């Protein structure tokens, strides 16, 4: 039986890089969920990441179910907390905030979640999560108690990436934070790609298809957008992002 991890690997082989759209199942997006998913279905999006750092009501599980019912692609849990875990996902990024030094988000939350994940039979993809300073205080920075790595210190990012690789993780996620003024720099991406063998997921502050393409050229294997689509009037922007990311389909 093929896994979501296998599927993402195939996306990399066939399209050069993958395009992931992040949907926050919070109440602020309640009225637009189906429209966003249908736009993703029609736009060449490879998978949906679903999750957020803070839920403002108790209806997120029902919203995830709505997303799953409408989606024609894998729906992957991007965990903000254990409270968001539910059976309506195809897989999850089993995140460890390796750039932080708060033990709860390095291993504590993961230990609490593990028996529930096993009971749900949910596929896990171990992911080292590295938070970089995108020029704005992000929700994940506050909620996790993590100090972002300065963007001008690619050596520190490389060291964290190698640690994730040697710990046997499947992916490295470089994150500038939701609403970042600046995305993860191409300098950082190139430095990590030169030293680390893990597939790179890059997100936060990527607001144009051109910026997405630049990060793929620098070595990003998957590009994530979220905030820019929440603010967009035309959800057809997803298709433009997908074309920018899928470089093999342009050659």
Tell me what pLDDT residue 53 has: 86
Tell me what pLDDT residue 251 has: 65
Judged against a pLDDT cut of 70, whether residue 191 lies above it is answered with: yes
Produce one character per residue of 101-129: b if its CB has 16 or more CB atoms within 10 Å, e if not.
eeeebbeebbeebeeebeeeebbbbbbbb
Tell me what pLDDT residue 175 has: 96
Judged against a pLDDT cut of 90, whether residue 230 lies above it is answered with: no
Q: What is the pTM of this model?
A: 0.96
| Cβ atoms of 181 and 205 closer than 8 Å | yes
**Domain coordinates of the chain in residue numbers?**
4-250
Higher pLDDT, 249 or 162: 162
Judged against a pLDDT cut of 70, whether residue 1 lies above it is answered with: no
DSSP, residue by residue, the chain: ---HHHHHHHHHHHHSSEEEEEE--SGGGGGGHHHHHHHHHTTT--EEEE--S--SSS-HHHHHHHHHHH-SS-EEE--S-GGG--TT-SEEEEEEETTS--HIIIIIHHHHHHHHHHHHT-EEEEEEEEEB--SS--HHHHHHTPPPBPTT-HHHHHHHHHHHHHTT-SEEEEE--TT-SSPPPHHHHHHHHHH--SPEEEESS--SHHHHHHHHHHT-SEEEE-HHHHH-S-TTHHHHHHHHH-GGGG-
- Give the range among 64-68, 94-98, 211-215, 224-228 with minimum mean pLDDT: 224-228
Helix axes 60-70, 33-41, angle to 10 degrees: 30
Give the closest residue to 202 by CA, choosing from 217, 216, 181: 216
Q: pLDDT of 88-130, one tens digit each? A: 999 999 999 999 999 999 999 999 999 999 999 999 999 999 9
Judged against a pLDDT cut of 70, whether residue 28 lies above it is answered with: yes
Mean pLDDT, rounded, of the chain: 94
Q: Percent of the chain scored above 90 by pLDDT? A: 83
Mean per-residue pLDDT, 15-34: 94
Tell me what pLDDT residue 14 has: 97
Tell me what pLDDT residue 137 has: 87
Give the closest residue to 47 by CA, choosing from 23, 30, 29: 23
| pLDDT confidence band for 205 (50 / 70 / 90) | very high
Which CATH architecture best describes the domain 4-250?
Answer: Alpha-Beta Barrel (3.20)
SS3 sequence of 18-85: EEEEEECCCHHHHHHHHHHHHHHHCCCCCEEEECCCCCCCCCHHHHHHHHHHHCCCCEEECCCCHHHC
Write the CB contacts of 102 (distance below 8 Å, at least 6 apart in sequence).
Answer: 144, 145, 146
Judged against a pLDDT cut of 70, whether residue 221 lies above it is answered with: yes
Q: Percent of the chain scored above 70 by pLDDT? A: 99
Mean per-residue pLDDT, 49-64: 93
Mean per-residue pLDDT, 9-23: 97
């Amino acid at each position: 039986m093929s896994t979501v991890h296998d599927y993402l690997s195939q996306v990399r082989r066939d399209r050069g890089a993958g395009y992931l759209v992040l949907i926050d199942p919070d109440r602020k997006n309640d009225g637009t969920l189906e429209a966003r998913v249908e736009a993703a279905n029609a736009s060449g999006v490879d998978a949906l990441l679903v999750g957020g750092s803070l839920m403002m009501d108790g209806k997120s599980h029902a919203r995830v179910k709505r997303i799953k019912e409408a989606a024609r692609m894998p729906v992957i849990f991007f965990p903000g907390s254990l409270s968001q875990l539910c059976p309506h996902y195809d897989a999850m990024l089993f995140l460890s905030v390796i750039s932080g030094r708060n033990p709860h988000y390095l291993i504590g939350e993961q230990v609490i979640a593990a028996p529930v994940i096993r009971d749900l039979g949910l596929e896990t993809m171990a992911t080292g999560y590295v938070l970089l300073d995108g020029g704005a205080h992000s929700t994940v920075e506050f909620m996790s108690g993590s100090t972002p790595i300065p963007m001008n210190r690619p050596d520190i990012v490389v060291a964290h990436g190698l640690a994730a690789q040697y710990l046997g993780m499947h992916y490295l996620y470089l994150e500038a934070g939701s609403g970042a003024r600046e995305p993860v720099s191409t300098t950082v991406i190139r430095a990590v790609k030169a030293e680390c063998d893990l597939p790179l997921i890059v997100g936060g502050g990527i607001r144009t298809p051109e910026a997405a393409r630049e990060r793929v050229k620098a070595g990003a294997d998957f590009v994530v957008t979220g905030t820019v689509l929440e603010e967009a009037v035309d959800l057809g922007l997803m298709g433009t992002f997908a074309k920018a990311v899928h470089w093999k389909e342009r050659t």
